[in-house]
Amino acid sequence: MPWRRASGPGGIASAHDPEISRDNTKVAFSIINSSVPPNYAKNPAANTAHDINVINIDGSGLVRLTKPGPISIIPNWYGDLIAYVEVSERDSYSGASIVSASGRDQPPKRIKAGANSPRWISPAR
C-alpha cells in the first residue's frame, strides 16, 4: 500500500481515506499534518490539519496537492480533479473544495459551503 508507506506515526502523520484514480495508476489520500497550528485549538478531536496527497501506485512520486493548514479529507477523483472536504476555523469555511491532481500546494477552489463527503457522479448512459 504505497499511501501507507508515505505516512508516519498514527495521529501525527498517518494516512487516511485512500481513493484510487479511475485509471488505476495513482492513489489520493489525506495525511495528518501536525506541524501547522491547530485548526480548532479548543477541540482536541479537530485540532490538526490534514493535507491531500497523491502518489503513484508503485509508491513513487508523492505530491502534496493542498496547501498546509486546513483539514482536507475524503478525496474523490474525476479525471484530473479531486473533490474533497475542507474544514478550517481560521478561514471560516467548512464544505466541498476541488484541486487539480497534477498541482502542488494549491489553494482550494471552494464549491459548496456546508457540504460534506463530496462524490463525483457519472453521467447516465
Give the whole-number percent of the chain exceeding pLDDT 70. 96
Q: Where does the pLDDT of residue 72 fall: very low under 50, low under 70, confident under 90, or very high at 90 and above?
A: very high
Q: In a 10 Å sphere around its CB, with 0-12 CB exposed, 13-18 middle and 19+ buried, how is residue 67 labelled?
A: middle
Structural domains of the chain sorted by starting position, each given as residue range(s) with its CATH number in brackets? 2-113 (2.120.10.30)
- What φ, ψ does residue 122 adopt, rounded to 5°? -65, 140
Cβ 8 vs Cβ 28: under 8 Å: no
**What's the pLDDT at 29?**
95
Q: How far apart are the C-alpha atoms of 96 and 112, rounded to whole Å? A: 5
Which is higher by pLDDT, 66 or 90?
66
